[in-house]
Amino acid sequence: MSGKQPAPEPKLRPDLYAVAMMLEPKSRVLDVGCGDGTLLRHLSERHGVDARGIELSQRGVNHCVAQGLSVIQGDADTDLADYPDDSFDFVILSQTLQATRRPRDVLDNMLRIGKHAIVSFPNFGHWRVRGQLLVKGRMPITDALSYAWYDTPNIHAFTIRDFVALVKMLGARIEEAKALDESGRPMLVNVPWGVWNLFGVQAVFKLTRDT
Amino acid sequence: MTVVPAGVTPTKAAIRREAEAPQSLVVSFGADKPLMMDAGVALAPVTIAYQTYGTLNADKSNAILVCHALTGDQHVANPNPLTGKPGWWSTMVGPGKPVDTERYFVIASNVIGGCMGTTGPASINPATGRAYALDLPVVTIRDMVRAQAMLVDHLGIDTLFCVAGGSMGGMQVLQWAASYPARVFSAMPIATAARHSSQNIAFHEVGRQAVMADPDWCGGRYLDEGKYPSKGLAVARMAAHITYLSDEALQRKFGRKLQSRSAPTFSFDADFQIENYLRYQGLSFVDRFDANSYLYVTRACDYFDLASDYGGSLAAAFKGSKTRFCVVSFSSDWLYPTSASRAIVHALNAGGASVSFVEIATDRGHDAFLLDDPEFSATARGFLDGAARARGLPPPPDQTPTVS
């Protein structure tokens, strides 16, 4: 801001990096479930974005506010309803949709509040997940889905294909999509959903209401 | 020297002294600049007693207005002239503190209706030469804020870098942001509400009735009569003090412990430590606060309902606001509970304002905002640091900039 050279790009988690790449600079962004504010900070410092956040844990919120970020303590399931239509350019939900109580309503609200919604999520259709269930007959535990069934916050497991179906049901349009492989690299585009669904560890979608 | 009527104790004389000739900075506005009150009266003359800390920078962009709570005053960070105790927010305001007086110019004024030098019921009514008592028009939070705006004008400051305060001070913060959005760069309403609830009004009414039931209140004319409604005011304070603490904290601190005795006395002495504690709180309060002032400031809170000035929509009060807000609540505060802060946050979001919201986990109840709490301090410091960067204020000398 004062004409100094920006510091080198800090290492951002691959899915957050993919999210950041889908945003337009100088836009108004709401990060739902912003955690410790890593993405918010990155967006406001590197992309000149007017970034706000919602976070459930007090620890996360206090950490964010103490860094000077605009974050409120709140719950994606209950508090999105209070935001007016079109109050943001982008509403982001990173790795959280599967942990909400009513994912459909959350996504619906995101599309209402923002001109665009960006959602990243772990893919329960990945071949390792399928393999564990098929071979061991036990609920899968992988790097991306590291919880036992009895204490997982991921109460709504879904695959990339499930998500695409929900988007269609909500009458939204996919503007951009990425699947990330096991090393966090973006996979080839222009392959059938089934390939991503089998080999994508996580996915990032940019959506908009179909008007 | 102030003439002390016969029958007034030295401490009560000190209260009168602070009301009439405070140990504070003072500015007076004459008939050419009256205070336009919600009661429909143009009040003049008006005196405002205030304190400042730190230095105003050249472009006057580093001023923080601190608004005090019900029985607080302008002595935020210096020893109180009446009690000798440290200023009520000396944990938060001072050199190197979250409200860093090495970076910011801090202003704190006594509210209209108060008793520490700003015009209030204990001030002399120039029309009669006697204390106003109940002849002072009923004061509102908005009146308090209008008076503060007159002070800020007088200091030559256009935009305040921040307005901060807890409880009734938080109401003033909200009123500032609604009335003068362009003059408030950032705002920190703490442990407060955008309107007084029925329960809030109920507790205040108990306090006022206790004062007015004391025969020494004399219909409000106790200063003329050389009397003082100490008992009524003490009971009012005792009842109010319970609302400032949580059940949990009281249990932890006092439980059912007996006061300097091994068994109940089968009398109405203060057998329990909590009784003794409350009696002490009541007694020490009457040595520092004017009884009529207590009526006025409690009434001001009761009348506060910010949304009602904006067609019933709190969001409309903040619509299009460019102010950066940081709303803080405390988990065990049942006087102005977290739900009241959430209502403010929802309205700010709906109005499109920039807002942070933190609920501090504590068992210390409403009074937690006056106490040293690391989470609260870190929140306030971080919020002000962020706002200072956005305002273009230089970082503190010992802090290297982290943002290019």
Place of tokens 């306030």: B380
Whether B176 shows a pLDDT value over 80: the answer reads: yes
Structural domain contains residue B218: no
A29-87 residue pLDDT tens = 999 999 999 999 999 988 889 999 999 988 899 889 988 899 999 889 988 988 889 98
Whether A208 shows a pLDDT value over 50: the answer reads: yes
B320-331 residue pLDDT tens = 899 999 999 999
Structural domain contains residue A116: yes
pLDDT, position A211:
66
Structural domain contains residue B313: yes
* B2 φ/ψ angles, rounded to the nearest 5 degrees: -75, 135
CATH number at residue A204: 3.40.50.150
Confidence of residue A12 (pLDDT cuts 50, 70, 90): confident
As a whole number, the mean pLDDT across chain B is 94
Distance from CA of B390 to the nearest CA of A (A): 10
Distance from CA of B242 to the nearest CA of A (A): 27
B344-399 residue pLDDT tens = 999 998 888 899 999 999 999 999 999 999 999 999 999 999 999 999 999 877 65
Q: Which of B8-12, B80-84, B291-295 has the highest mean pLDDT?
A: B291-295
Say if B358 is an interface residue toward chain A (CB within 8 Å).
yes
Residues in chain B: 404
Structural domain contains residue A40: yes
Rounded to whole angstroms, the Cα distance separating A145 from A154 reads: 8
Domains of chain A: total: 1
Whether B8 shows a pLDDT value over 60: the answer reads: no
Confidence of residue A4 (pLDDT cuts 50, 70, 90): very low
Output the DSSP codes for A29-98.
EEEET-TTSHHHHHHHHHS--EEEEEES-HHHHHHHHHTT-EEEE--HHHHGGGSPTT-EEEEEEES-GG
State the average pLDDT over residues B136-156. 98
Whether B16 shows a pLDDT value over 80: the answer reads: yes
A·B CB contacts under 8 A:
74
Comparing C-alpha atoms, which of A36, A66, B177 is closest to residue A53? A36
Whether B403 shows a pLDDT value over 60: the answer reads: no
Say if B186 is an interface residue toward chain A (CB within 8 Å).
no
Burial B340-376 (b: 16+ CB within 10 A, else e): bbbbbbbbbbbbbbbbbbbbbebbbbbbbbbeebebb
Structural domain contains residue B122: yes
Output the DSSP codes for B346-398.
HHHHHTT-EEEEEEEP-SS-GGGGGS--HHHHHHHHHHHHHHHHHHTPPPPTT
Joined tokens for residue A102: 């009513």
pLDDT, position A9:
55
pLDDT, position B4:
44
* Count of CB atoms situated within 10 Å of the CB of B330: 31
Structural domain contains residue B249: no
DSSP code for B305: B
Contacts of B363 (CB under 8 A, 6+ apart): B246, B248, B249, B252, B331, B332
pLDDT, position A1:
41
Structural domain contains residue A169: yes
Whether B174 shows a pLDDT value over 70: the answer reads: yes
pLDDT, position B284:
94
pLDDT, position B2:
42
* A122 φ/ψ angles, rounded to the nearest 5 degrees: -80, 140
Worst-scoring range by mean pLDDT, A138-152, B57-71, B149-163? A138-152
Structural domain contains residue B232: no
B181-237 residue pLDDT tens = 999 999 999 999 999 999 999 999 999 999 999 999 999 999 999 999 999 999 999
Comparing C-alpha atoms, which of B343, B321, B366, B18 is closest to residue B177? B321
Query: Is there a contact between B122 and B223 (Cβ–Cβ < 8 Å)?
Result: yes
A116-149 residue pLDDT tens = 999 999 999 999 999 999 999 999 998 888 899 9
Place of tokens 């991306």: A144
Rounded to whole angstroms, the Cα distance separating B258 from B264 reads: 7
Place of tokens 């940081």: B326
Query: Is there a contact between B233 and B291 (Cβ–Cβ < 8 Å)?
Result: yes
Say if A61 is an interface residue toward chain B (CB within 8 Å).
yes
* Count of CB atoms situated within 10 Å of the CB of B58: 7
Query: Is there a contact between B187 and B326 (Cβ–Cβ < 8 Å)?
Result: yes
Whether B166 shows a pLDDT value over 60: the answer reads: yes
As a whole number, the mean pLDDT across chain A is 90
- Complex-level ipTM: 0.80
Give the B window 277-336 contacts with A, CB below 8 Å.
Answer: 324, 326-327
Place of tokens 């919120």: A61
What are the Cα distances from residue B234, in Å, to B72, B211, B216?
Answer: 16, 8, 13
pLDDT, position B7:
46
Percentage of chain B modeled with pLDDT above 70: 95
Structural domain contains residue A52: yes
Supply the range of the domain harboring residue A81: 25-124+155-209
CATH number at residue B89: 3.40.50.1820
Distance from CA of A25 to the nearest CA of B (A): 17
Best mutation target among B356, B362, B373, B393 (most A Cβ atoms within 10 Å) is B356
Residues in chain A: 211
Structural domain contains residue B17: yes
Query: Is there a contact between A119 and A91 (Cβ–Cβ < 8 Å)?
Result: no
Structural domain contains residue A131: no
pLDDT, position B398:
65
Cα angle B93, B96, B102 (rounded to 5 degrees) comes to 85
B293-306 residue pLDDT tens = 999 999 999 999 99
Say if A28 is an interface residue toward chain B (CB within 8 Å).
no
State the average pLDDT over residues A20-35. 93
Amino acid at A128: R
Amino acid at B264: P
State the average pLDDT over residues A177-193. 88
Whether B75 shows a pLDDT value over 50: the answer reads: yes
Structural domain contains residue B229: no
pLDDT, position B6:
46
- Tell me how far apart the terminal alpha carbons of chain A are, to the nearest angstrom: 38
Hey, is B151 helix, strand or coil? helix
Domains of chain B: total: 1
Output the DSSP codes for A46-64.
HS--EEEEEES-HHHHHHH
Place of tokens 């998500």: A163
Supply the range of the domain harboring residue B367: 10-203+307-391
pLDDT, position B290:
96
Rounded to whole angstroms, the Cα distance separating B229 from A161 reads: 75
Confidence of residue A2 (pLDDT cuts 50, 70, 90): very low
With beta carbons under 8 A apart, name residues in chain A contacting B186.
Answer: none
With beta carbons under 8 A apart, name residues in chain B contacting A83.
Answer: 349-350
Confidence of residue B404 (pLDDT cuts 50, 70, 90): very low
Joined tokens for residue A122: 């772990």
Hey, is B42 helix, strand or coil? strand
pLDDT, position B9:
62
Rounded to whole angstroms, the Cα distance separating B98 from B259 reads: 38
Cβ of B389 within 8 Å of Cβ of A68? The answer is yes
Query: Is there a contact between B118 and B127 (Cβ–Cβ < 8 Å)?
Result: no
Q: What positions of B carry a catalytic annotation?
A: 167, 333, 366
Contacts of B65 (CB under 8 A, 6+ apart): B106, B107, B108, B148, B152, B160, B162, B163, B164, B176
pLDDT, position A54:
94
Comparing C-alpha atoms, which of A145, A186, A163, A187 is closest to residue A17? A186
Residue B314: half-sphere exposure toward Cβ, Cα within 13 Å: 21
Structural domain contains residue A181: yes
